[in-house]
Every structure is written in C-alpha cells, then in structure tokens.
Chains A and B, each alone.
Chain A
Amino acid sequence: MSPWGARGRTGRGLLALGALAVLLGSCAVALGVGSVDVPVARVLAVVARRAGAGDLDVTLLEDQLVWQLRLPRVLGAVAVGAVLAACGAVLQSLTRNDLADPFLLGVSSGAGVGAVSVIVLGVGVGGLAAGAVLPAAAFAGALAALAAVLLVASAGGGALRPHRTVLAGVAVAHLCGAYTSVVVIMHGQGDAARRVLAWTLGSLAGLRWGSALVLLAAAVVALVWFLAYAERLDAFAFGETSARSLGVPVTATRWVLMVGTALVTATTVAYAGAIGFVGLVVPHLVRPLVGSRHRVLLPASAVAGAVLLVWADTAARSLVEGQEVPIGALTALIGVPVLVWLMARRVAA
C-alpha cells in the first residue's frame, strides 16, 4: 500500500518524529524573520525567558517583537494550516471528490459577506471593539452561508448527498460573491476595494495571542474529533454502499463531519481570511507518502499543512520589503508545481 506501510509502527513513528522536527524547525526560522533584525541568539533568549528559563537579559522591544508579534502569528499559521489540510482530507473522502476543499460549503464566501459589510458599509456590533467586529461578522456570515447550504442540500431527504451538497455550496457561494461585488462597486470608498481584496486573499498579519490561542484550540479539538472518525472515513473511501454494509451510519457521519469541518474552517476564516489551496492540495501531497488510512493521513496532512503555511507566511512578510504578499498567492505558488509534478508522476506510473 504505502511505502511506509511495510515498515509498520517504527517506520511511522520515525516519520512522525521527523515531521514534528521539521515543523518545529520551520517555526524557529520563522520567528527569526521580520522587518526588524533580531539575532537568533536573542530570539532564543526571549523564548527561553518566557518559558521560565530564568531571568535572562531581554529588552522589552525584543520581547514585543518576538513573543508578542511574531510567535502568535507563527502559531496561527500552524493552526490554520493544520485545520485546513485536515478538513480537506476529511471532505475529499466524505464526498469522494478530489476537488473538495474546506470551503466546499460556502464558508469563505459567507465570511466574505460579513467582512465586506464591516469593511465597506461600516456595520458595527454594539459592545464590540472595532478590531473584534471583523472576525465576528466574518464568522456570522460563514455560519449563515453554511446554514443556507445545508438547508438547500438537505431539502428532500436530509441525506446530504455529495453531489447535491457541492452544488448547493456553489450556488450559495455565487450569491454571496454577487453581494460582495455589488457592495464594493456601489459603496466602496477610498481604498475599500483593495482592503476587501486583501481580506479575501487571506492574511495572518495582525494575529495576537488571543486569536492565536483560539485558533490553536480549534485545531486541537478538530484533529481529535476527526481522528475519532478515522475508521468510518476509511470505510467511506470504498463508497457509500460499502460503508453502509460495514455498519457505518452514513447520513449521521456526513452531517457531523460536514458541519464540523465547516465550523473549524469558519473559525480560521474569521481570523485569517480564506487562504486557498492548502486544504485542496496538501492531502493529495501527503497520500502518496503515508497512504490513505485516515488514522495516519489526518495527522500527517495537519503537520504538512502547518509547515506549508508557516513557510508561506514567512515568505509573505519577508519576500518584498515594506509590503505583504498575499499568502493565498504563495500557497498556490508553492502548491501548484508540487501538485503538477505529482500528477505527472502518477500518469507515468
């Protein structure tokens, strides 16, 4: 089956260790990159001091840069990358559709409606600080779109059949997209169009500890939750009929996983916008390496997604001086060539 399958437990253990080491290394490098130069030794000192390694000599500025600005952003990238990649893997099995991605159920376009309402129309929410309104509105928009998709998809049976769900998602996404374009064109003032575009392309800039912790919590909960469904997902890979004959409650599983993936995806979109390509591509990259058993595929996708996003985000904030490159463009730039290479290899084989 997979190249690692034969080596069994030890092989997989080594792979897991290696993957975690790569992830930690990536985070360490990312912490050292920024528009203000902080030497590696100082970065380590900041982290060590915060980790309780004694009263190290660290300036307030170094702590602000490394611990308060960069680390939440890096951890946010880890969480968002892990969530998106794991959701992609789940949904690709669930719908038996290679093109399924975490935004399948209209979550990103719904979040866009919320975001545009705040950015362009200036819709406020009583009792919420200006900085908190945007994520709240995006999350609310995502939930509304999800509800609309589920309503349309489950009309007449409630079985959430994949092709019906995909179509409902496309329909709702187009409706939300129409609203977004109309609002930007008709009411956009100043640089509103640019701000909306930047939000749509996704960005991890501006993540602080509060939001990073929410994202990390969402990632942990999602992974544990999805892993509990690993065997059912394996059964789905052989088709709905086989899954049913193996005793899997097909409809219930679909509901739980579709709503679950949409909720965690909506959480990432609220804070980081819709970062494309990670959820679509990473599972395809990981499957040839670890096989398609979900007990391994899900965590492997999560780690690979996290590494990809940490690097994409580091590139986003350091490639062009004085400007952030949209992270969605970078995930595509890194992901597409790898995907094309994989496809070519598969054809050759």
Chain B
Amino acid sequence: MIRRPVLRPTLPAALLAAVVSTSGLLSGCTGAPAAESAPHTSAEPPVTVTSCGHEVTVAEPPTDVVTLNQGATEVVLALGLADQLAGTAYLDDAVPGKWRAAYDAVPVLSAEYPTNEQLLAARPDFVYASYASAFEPAVAGTQEDLAAAGVGAYLSPFGCPEAEDRPGASFEAVWDEVADVATALGHPEAAERLRDQQGEQLADLRSAAAGEGLDVLWWDGGTKSPNVGAGDGGPQLVLDAVGATNVFADLPGSWAEGSWEDVLSADPDVIVLVDAAWDPAADKRAYLESDPVLQGLTAVREQRYAVVPFSASTAGVRLVDGAAALAAQLDELGLDG
C-alpha cells in the first residue's frame, strides 16, 4: 500500500473541489441509470393523441397505465382495458358494480392523489387524469416532465386548464375522449364498441322519453342557496336524454347557483337529488322535508324524488347510466306530464 502525502486543502480549494464534484454529478458524469424500456417491437407505427394543446405520442401500447381521478379510471374500465392498468387513484364515490371486479384487481395507489414518489413507484408508462390538478409538481409532475421521462400523459379535455380548450358537454365529446384514450392504449376498436353501445342506449332513452312534459329541478347541493344543474353540462344532457325540462336551463355553465325563490316559482314536478359521498341524497331529502318553506313544494309534498350519483352526472362514460337511472325512477313515479 502506497501512502501518499495528504495535502490539507485550504478552504477555497475545498470549496472549489466541492463545487466541481457537485456540478459533475449534476451534468451527468454518472447520470441516472438508463430506463429499462423494451425495444420497439410492434409493427404498428407510433400513435399521437392531443388534448389541451398537448401532444402525446405513444410508440408502444402502454401496459402500465396509471389513472388519476374517478372519471379517468372509469373510461379505462368501460373500455375493458383494465389489464393495462398498473394503478388507480382518487375516487369521488363508488365504482359501479359492473366494473367492480376489474377495478378491485388493480392496485389503488392512494385514496386521493398519490405523492410523486408513490406514482413513480408504480412505474407507469402512461398517466391519464381527469383534472389538471393531477399534473401539478407534487402529484404526477407536468405533462412535459413526464414526456421527457418517456411517460405519456393525457389529460381529459374536460379538465383542460384553459377554458377555451374545454369542449362543451356532449355525448360526442365524451366519446371523442374515450376514442383518444383507446387509441393511445392500442385498442381503438374498444372505443367504437362503447360508442355504438351507448349510442343505442341513448336512442332508446330518447324514444322512450320518460321525462316528457316534466319540469325537473336538478339539485346538486347547497342549502342556503341551491347549486343546480344549469343549461350546458352533464345534468342538462341527462335531462335532455330522458326528455325532461330543466327548470334552470337558462342558467349558463354546467352547474350554477340558483335561488329558492326561483325554485318556488317554478314548483318543479320532480326533484333530482344528487348523491355524493360528501353530501348524500338522504341529507338533501331530509333538508327539503324539514324546511318550513320548501316542504310546501309539490314535489316534496308528493315525494317525487329521483337520485342520481354525482359521478354519473359529470361529462364521462357514466352519463348514459345516469340518464338510464333517472328514466327508470321517473317511470316508477308514474307521472303523466
């Protein structure tokens, strides 16, 4: 063993050494280990889908997709592509029974948003989210950062941060998003199947017109003043699908602040109580029946309520189910408009 004379560096020299070695690390002398990506094997050319002005190019159908937010998770479940999921996160309420088994087979990363580390630990090759908040640095990181790391990142057009990028709520827009996702996941035919099936269901609902001639209040929540389904969103689409009239159809947006005065003067035939984990339909009903003024509404006196889950009232794959559930309940009430 050769002993070299030890030179005690003076302070500036030590500093210099520290700076040099750190910058060496940063500039990638060693660098991060190479991603262990499989070589491009499929014969298919890469596909590109775009949302919110962000292009996602996928060379290979991803096999480790992580979905954030319930809407995104349900799109993949509806497509029957759950076996390509590596993880899901952030439910608002329950996943419906028909997809329950497929959902339970996929690891749930976290109850709400996962931390950046939890997400990375799932080793996703594609991240699909409903809301822009999912791509904040503390959660998944920006779509650009993910793209740089070779991870596709698709944000639902309904969740675009810029309002002008968001499509108006329509079944077509829902199906377009589903088609984008199915294409990115390498199964465009699954989207066509879903579109055909939902289109047929919708046509049946429209011709049955269970809500024909009925004035409906879509009450989303809020007791001091009601937050109601307005003229341009999921609630309006559901009401249109069953042929009912929204008493707040003239308010702009998907949901809006209504007033009890207007509710009283419209005296709706039926009240839709939205059921959400944080504000159950049963509480809404109890409020209506205990309020000295609102208990005078015809719909309250005659107990004409319909319950629709919140997640079936947002622009997504369960909107048709929401319409079907409403139609069934209106049939049961047996009203003649």
Contact = CB atoms under 8 A, between A and B. Distances in A.
Contacts of B27: none
B304 to A, nearest CB: 18
Given A61-B265, A190-B92, A69 B291 contact: no
Contacts of A206: 223-225
B264 A61 contact: yes
A258 to B, nearest CB: 31
A208 B293 contact: yes
Given A130-B287, A131-B291, A208-B291, A65 B264 contact: yes
A64 B291 contact: no
A334 B194 CA distance: 56
Contacts of B92: 189-190
A195 B222 CA distance: 8
A129 B223 contact: no
Contacts of A203: 224
Nearest to B267: A61
B112 to A, nearest CB: 8
Given A35-B262, A36-B265, A189-B278, A324 B286 contact: no
Contact of A35 (B261, B276, B277): B261
Given A61-B264, A69-B264, A322-B258, A208 B224 contact: no
Contacts of B265: 36, 61, 65
B54 to A, nearest CB: 27
Interface residues of A, number: 28
A4 interface: no
A325 to B, nearest CB: 11
B292 interface: yes
Contacts of B99: none
A344 interface: no
B296 A64 contact: yes
Nearest to B282: A130
A195 B291 CA distance: 20
Taking each of B92, B222, B258, which has the highest tally of chain A beta carbons within 10 Å of its own beta carbon?
B222
Interface string B277-291: 111000100110011
B299 interface: no
A192 interface: yes
A64 B290 contact: no
Interface string A71-95: 0000000000000000000000000
A122 B310 CA distance: 18
B150 to A, nearest CB: 33
Contacts of B322: none
Contact of B293 (A35, A36, A64, A323): A64
A68 interface: yes
B55 interface: no
A313 B251 CA distance: 23
Please provide the 10 A-B residue pairs with the shortest distance between their CB atoms, ordered closest to farther. Answer: A206-B224, A205-B224, A35-B259, A189-B278, A190-B278, A36-B261, A68-B293, A36-B265, A323-B257, A35-B261
